[in-house]
Amino acid sequence: MQHFALPKFMYISMSGLKFSSLILQLYCVLSIFYVYKSGYPQPADILIAAAIGVALMFFVMKKSWVVTLPIALGLLFAFCTFIINVTNYVLWPDRQFILSSLYYIFNMGIFAFSYSLFKKTKGELAPALVTALIIAICLECIFVFMLNASENGRAIGTFNNPNQLSYWALLVFCLLVALRYPLTFKWYDYGLIGILFLIEMESLSKAALISFMVVFISVAFTRLVNNFGRAILIMIFLALVSFAVFSFESITGTVANLDNIQKTVTRLAEIGQDSDDNLEARGYNRIPENPQFLILGAGEGGYDRFTVGAFELHSGIATLFFSYGISGMVIFGFFLLSILWRLPPIFWILVFSIMLYGLTHQNIRFSFFWLFLGIITAVGELRATKKVQKLPNSTV
């Protein structure tokens, strides 16, 4: 029987694919460790930046280039942020304008890298990424629950502040859903989700808790949860409703005795009461006070131009609208639509919950968000081309 050997360049390609996959897994694990100040490159960023550089070099050397619509729109958005920031820098010199542009260029690199890699592996990378997420969750548990790393009574884990921790937990939950769909959750996935929710409770982020619950409730009615699991969830929900109606004082008294739940309930009850929990503190007042920037964009920097504090907008949505104007907002909107239009409703809900969090927090620049977008973009294209009907199952 005659055997055919693969050409040498195919061995190199396969080797490179495995190496790139390993880099992405390491990035998922190491991205939780914030060694330097926020805004500075972290060790995981340096690692994946090197991998992106090598991948870009090989892409440029290819005889023909294929640029898909999501990639094109993502690059257009990054270019838009660069032009607007540079223009504002000329008028109001502040290096933050340049740094802001670099964030989006770097994040676009993460998006393209994760998207291309996941697509090339036809989804076979999914189990490995789930394993990486499990390792990251376990490591984060050590810092949150055993080492009690906190700031002002709110857990920070391996991050620099509680909001970074809570946003990471939300994104990991969304990524876990994306990697498992349309298969049903494994038994330990429920444990992972429970741990992530406990981390959310420890971080005490109101926006993240609300967004997390939106995803949780939505996922409960998808094929990810089997009939038995759904029945249990419905029974728990009905039991809580019954107790709340017929024995409200009893149930609230029990809940009040549980420290974590008490802190969480108190935190949610204080929505709108904290000093930073209003439109002015988040910087929304800049929009009506400076309407001229809605057309061309104010860029991200030069905050001392504004009367409402010299700080960045504490909102990803407001940043898109105010810092990059109508053009930036429209381009980013079409970018998201190009990703979602071939995906099931649950993926729309995942993105909605993340953007809901972005109403009160700066969520767009977070690199893990762009990795999530890259993965679901590849999932959508793989489903559309029917190369895979469902992501590969695994023992992990």
Question: For 169-194, how does the pLDDT look when each residue is reduced to its tens digit (9 = 90+)?
Answer: 999 999 999 999 888 898 889 889 98
Tokens of residue 23, six digits: 């880099």
| Bond into 182 cis (ω within 30) | yes
Q: Using one digit for the tens of pLDDT, what is the confidence trace for 18-41?
A: 888 999 999 999 999 999 998 888
- Every domain of the chain and the residues it spans: 70-385
Q: What is the spatial distance between Cα 350 and Cα 219, in angstroms, rounded to a whole number?
A: 9
Q: What's the whole-number average pLDDT of the chain? A: 82
Could you identify the residue written with the tokens 């542009």?
Answer: 101
Strands, E assignment, the chain: 150-151, 154-155
Task: Tell me what pLDDT residue 4 has.
Answer: 40
DSSP letter at 143?
I
Q: Using one digit for the tens of pLDDT, what is the confidence trace for 296-313?
A: 898 998 888 876 556 778
Task: Tell me what pLDDT residue 251 has.
Answer: 41
* Distance spanning both ends of the chain, measured CA to CA: 37
Q: Which of 153, 156, 185 is nearest to 263 (CA)?
A: 153
Tokens of residue 97, six digits: 């304008």
The average pLDDT across 250-261 equals 46
- The answer, yes or no, to whether residue 252 has pLDDT greater than 50, is no
- The answer, yes or no, to whether residue 278 has pLDDT greater than 80, is no
Q: What is the spatial distance between Cα 199 and Cα 138, in angstroms, rounded to a whole number?
A: 11
Would you tell me how many other CB atoms lie within 10 Å of the CB of residue 250? Answer: 11
- The answer, yes or no, to whether residue 396 has pLDDT greater than 80, is no
At position 376, the amino acid (one-letter code) is I
- Of these ranges, 77-86, 202-211, 255-264, the one predicted with the greatest mean pLDDT is 77-86
Q: 343-360 burial string, b = 16+ CB within 10 Å, else e?
A: beebbebbbbbbbbbbbb
> Where residue 265 falls among pLDDT bands split at 50, 70, 90?
very low
Helix, strand, or coil here: 239?
helix
Task: Tell me what pLDDT residue 295 has.
Answer: 86
pTM of this prediction exceeds 0.75: yes
Interior angle at CA 26, CA 186 and CA 98, nearest 5: 120
- The answer, yes or no, to whether residue 260 has pLDDT greater than 80, is no
Q: What is the spatial distance between Cα 383 and Cα 385, in angstroms, rounded to a whole number?
A: 6
Tokens of residue 381, six digits: 């294209």
- The answer, yes or no, to whether residue 274 has pLDDT greater than 60, is no
Q: 216-225 burial string, b = 16+ CB within 10 Å, else e?
A: bebbeebbbb
The average pLDDT across 193-209 equals 89
Q: Which of 316, 315, 299, 373 is nearest to 343 (CA)?
A: 373
- The answer, yes or no, to whether residue 62 has pLDDT greater than 80, is no
Q: Which of 147, 145, 153 is nearest to 169 (CA)?
A: 145
